[in-house]
Amino acid sequence: MGNPPDRERDKGSDTAAAAAVYSRPLLALYDTLILGAVCRAVWRCPPEEMLALYDRHVSDRHLDIGPGTGYFLDRCRFPTRLPQITLVDLNPTVLATAQRRIVRYGATALCRDVLRPMELEGRRFTSAALNFVLHCLPSGAPAKFAVFDHLLPHLEPGAKVFGSTVLAHGVRHTAVSRLHLRECVRRGVLNNSEDSLELLDKALGSRFGRHRIRVRGTVALFDATA
């Protein structure tokens, strides 16, 4: 197994509070409840769409921000048998859960606040994923897109950045998805009441040489080249 999570000292940020929502009981249900049921029936974007992003863009030196349970890292097709994987989250329970799931890869786990400049032990990456991360970040849009600014110094030229996020605006919501979104925001599970397709497009366009966004249901699936 890889190293135990390297923790930052300061846990008083809003990001830490948002990360703490993902407790051990919630993570135990995450694959079945969130990916299996909510993604398909409410957000109308099956997890196969996110897995396809991984299969297209993941590389041999990969950074996964907000790895969740490790579901996609466990299933995706890496271009090498032993990729170098670094997991970043501010919740040590999330890191430990994902790290155990992909123990065969010996992933490194780092507790970091992605809304602050990150120290990643000198590592540089050729791919980075932010899957279902942006809609959890506590800062309002467009301030939350500073995560890309803190990511860029750790990427090699031509690195692929990809991910997905549930949007509040610029996508077609149903009555069910709108109600569920409001409840998730009220409970602090999501922090995306200001997030829009337009703001995401501007954030990517101002930071990357090339980017693409595809909408499936209420979810924006994106990829960009550093």
pLDDT, tens digit (0-9, with 9 covering 90-100), for 173-203 = 999 999 999 999 999 899 999 999 999 999 9
User: What's residue 4's pLDDT?
Assistant: 57
Q: Could you read off the pLDDT of 116-137 as tens digits, one per residue? A: 999 999 999 999 999 999 999 9
| Cα distance between residue 213 and residue 226, in whole Å | 15
- Tokens 């499936």 — which residue? 216
Rounded to an integer, what distance in angstroms lies between the CA atom of residue 70 and that of residue 214? 23
Q: How far from 17 is each of 13, 36, 72, 104, CA to CA, in Å? A: 7, 25, 24, 31
Paired sense of beta strands 210-216 and 219-225, if any: antiparallel
Q: Specify whether the CB–CB gap between 124 and 190 falls below 8 A.
A: no
pLDDT of 77 above 90: yes
Write the pLDDT tens digit of every residue in 37-71.
Answer: 999 999 999 999 999 999 999 999 999 999 999 99
- Give the residue extent of every domain in the chain: 44-114+125-225
Tell me the C-alpha distance between 45 and 168, whole Å: 15
pLDDT of residue 12: 42
Domain range 44-114+125-225, its CATH number among 3.40.50.150, 3.30.70.20, 3.40.50.300, 3.40.190.10: 3.40.50.150
Residue with tokens 């929502």: 21
Q: Is 59 helix (H, G, I), strand (E, B) or coil?
A: coil
